[in-house]
Amino acid sequence: MMAAGIHVQDAGSMGRGVFTSKPIKANTIIERSPVVVLSKSDRLELEKTLLNNYIFEWGPRGTSCCVALGYISVYNHSFTSNCEYEMHFDEEVIAVKTMRAIKAGEELFINYNGDWNDRKKLWFDAR
């Protein structure tokens, strides 16, 4: 499920990003995307590829990983994100929800630390 107006476009120095062409109210689920769950050994293989930058830790203890379908892996990071993602392990789905009202034309950001207001250092240098 993808909310109307959500699309991918050029985000300048950040590459591609997810944007909205319509205003969105706070606390709105804008995307629910299935994931492909991979084993610990699969993750070791993925870490050798470009896909390593696009996988999510998965499971209650983060012992697995997943590749998210939909736009999930295209949202850019911000410590002042306007969205957050929620993992639904039993459904094998990641949902993205707005944390505040979003204006038409805005880029939608998530915090890669998992909690929308978590400011701890990332495992990579953000652009």
pLDDT reported for residue 124: 47
CA dihedral sign, ordered 127, 75, 107, 11: positive
Residue 127 domain flag = no
> What is the rounded CA–CA span in Å between residue 116 and residue 119?
9
Residue 123 domain flag = no
- What predicted TM-score, i.e. pTM, was given to this entire model? 0.84
CATH of the domain at 51: 2.170.270.10
Average pLDDT, the chain: 88
> What is the rounded CA–CA span in Å between residue 13 and residue 26?
27
Q: How many domains does the chain have?
A: 1
Q: Could you tell me the CA-to-CA distances from 21 to 3, 9, 61 in Å, in that order?
A: 11, 11, 36
Residue 81 domain flag = yes
Q: Is the pLDDT confidence value at 109 over 60?
A: yes
